[in-house]
Structure 1
Amino acid sequence: MKLLRSLASICLLAAAALSVPTQEKRVHHQADLSDRAHDDSHGFQYDHEAFLGKEEAKTFDQLTPEESKDKLAMIVDRIDADKDGYISHTELHHWIKHRQRRYIEENVNKHWKDYDKNQDGKIGWEEYKNTTYGFYLGEEFDDVEDKATYRSMLTRDERRFKTADRDGDGIATREEFTAFLHPEEFDYMKDLVVQETVEDIDTNGDGKININEYIGDMFSPESGEKEPDWVQTERKHFHEFRDTNKDGYLDNAEVAHWVLPGEVDHADNEAKHLIHETDTDKDQKITKKEILANWNIFVGSQVTNYGEDLTKRHDEL
């Protein structure tokens, strides 16, 4: 389990400038199916976002159980590509991957219109830099309280932008801008993903991650707070699985193995999990009836008591 998947957003640019997309979330392995931790015993929120996508999940959080079931039935019809009345693992896997891709596309589209100021279908580094930092750049961040943080953010953004800009022309196409915002999705960006991860966790600046830095990135106890069991499990994972050469640190290669697990397909695992949880007759495929009987696994959210605590709202799929 990983309690903290993202860095705190640095909200210093205020209303005068846009927040920095690359600072919104540290990149860890693939684009996650959900921001929630996946716990099979209490995994409704993870399944909720993995199946619907993060934005669609917010819509379902506003619905009553009856409305959720009606919309879920419509989605099931779309997942059943061969219209045989069953949802196979392949169909469910394809659907979850589709939701992942759509989330990325929507995220890129949202930022694209903010940065492509001249609407030429490209985003230059200067265009991005001036839109993001322009309010303060003239004085080299002299009016900003935390100058070092801003300069570090600008340097990091420029490095990531130039890495994503494969042809080195200083201008990002839509694909290159997607690599800039979601480097975990592109093979040629993976060294950068590892580098950024090390930089974020390596608090003493020695270029590697020790056990205290590893745990500290996930869990910061309040005064007198007892360390929960999952943290003890993570300590064990660090020593037994992460630190493969047993030198007490994670180097770049070990971090790559951790955050870029290669052939692990989270969408595939989630599809298997959902079928296992809802396939009552154990025929390795699920019907609309089985899905609707377990509707809370697919669309329920514990935060909203599975929709019952919120007012009704009708949105289009």
Structure 2
Amino acid sequence: MFLGHVAWDEYRVKFLASKGFNEKEVAEKIKNNEELKIDEETQEVLENLKDRWFQADNPPADQLLNEEEFLSFLHPEHSRGMLKFMVKEIVRDLDQDGDKKLTLSEFISLPVGTVENQQAQDIDDDWVRERRKEFQEVIDANHDGIVTEEELEEYMDPMNEYNALNEAKQMIAVADENQNHNLELEEILKYSEYFTGSKLMDYARNVHEEF
């Protein structure tokens, strides 16, 4: 192990420990190359994380991430190379016909959750309406009914003005208790956890849910 670097196995141990696995037991099994008995969902998340880990490992690849590489791994949307990788992941997940582009129906096909009652149905309906508006009015820049990887990358770029304005509106809507369209110090402090946990886009939040 090198000072100032994080190895994949070290991160894997901490990740599984955060999911309730015994840290010492996991570390020992990884050290001895023994099979880890983990559920299918956690295994899938680990595989996706490993792909992103190696993507963040800049040449020459040494399977160790320094501080800059680790930040790219944690926040791929802030790294140009990792942003491209994240866009490809999203398109891969939603693209049903394999053309590496997204139609409106593909874009809104990602469910919020299982609909079990009318309230949940209303939430899902609202989600679909918002995603449709987002697709048609913002992401599909040339309005041809198709979103390319380039258009999605432009939309997901944190420097995109729409993202900053949209997030600011959401933050004010949540914290502006007196409805004066301004945030007082008391409101900011009360909702500080919401602000520090804020993400630019719902899907980006899903990408980071393993942390």
TM-score computed with the length of structure 1 as normaliser: 0.40
Which residue, 110, 118, 129 being the options, matches 1:217?
110
2:22 paired with 1:125: no
1:136-176 deviations in whole A, cap 9, x for unaligned?
8634x6x55528x72x4444333322222223242211221
- Mapped to 2, the partners of 1:201 and 1:220 lie a distance apart of 16
Give the Cα separation in 2 of the matches to 1:231 and 1:153.
Answer: 25
AA at the equivalent of 2:40: D
Selected match of 2:69 from 176, 198, 205 = 176
Structure 2 counterpart of 1:11: none
Q: Which runs of 5+ in 1 are unaligned?
A: 1-117, 280-290, 302-317
Match of 2:188 among 293, 298, 308: 298
- In the alignment, residue 236 of structure 1 is paired with which amino acid? K
**What CA distance in whole angstroms lies between the structure 2 residues aligned with 1:229 and 1:125?**
39
Would you say 1:146 and 2:43 are equivalent positions?
Answer: no
Within 2, Cα distance between the matches of 1:194 and 1:125?
A: 23
- Evaluate the alpha carbon distance shift between residue 298 and residue 129 of structure 1 in structure 2; reply closer, same or farther with a 3 A threshold: closer
Would the aligned equivalents of 1:162 and 1:168 in 2 still touch at CA under 8 Å?
no
Q: Report how far residue 252 of structure 1 moved.
A: 0.8
Query: Which range moves more in the overlay, 233-242 or 168-177?
Result: 233-242
Paired residues, number: 165
> In 2 relative to 1, CA 230–160 (structure 1 residues): closer, same or farther, beyond 3 Å?
closer
Partner in structure 2 of residue 252 of structure 1: 149
Output the TM-score relative to the length of structure 2.
0.56
The 5-angstrom pairing of residues 60-209 of structure 1 reads 120-129=3-12, 135=29, 138-139=34-35, 143-144=37-38, 146=40, 150=43, 152-170=44-62, 171-202=64-95, 207-209=100-102
Q: What residue is the counterpart of 2:181 in the other structure?
A: 277
Q: Measure the CA separation in 1 of the matches of 2:39 and 2:97.
A: 23
| AA at the equivalent of 2:181 | E
C-alpha change, 1:236 and 1:122, in structure 2 (3 Å) is closer
Q: Indicate the structure with greater helix content.
A: 2
**One-letter identity of the residue aligned with 1:266:** A
Counterpart CA distance in 2 for 1:234 and 1:166 is: 34
Distance 1:300 1:157, change over 3 A: closer
Give the match for residue 200 of structure 2: none
Q: Flag structure 2 segments of 5+ consecutive residues without an equivalent.
A: 17-25, 192-211
Cα shift at 1:222? 1.9
Rg comparison, structure with higher value: 1
Aligned mates of 2:146, 2:66 — CA distance in 1: 38
Name the CA distance, whole Å, in 2 between partners of 1:218 and 1:299. 33
Conserved in 2, the CA contact under 8 Å of 1:121 and 1:174?
Answer: yes
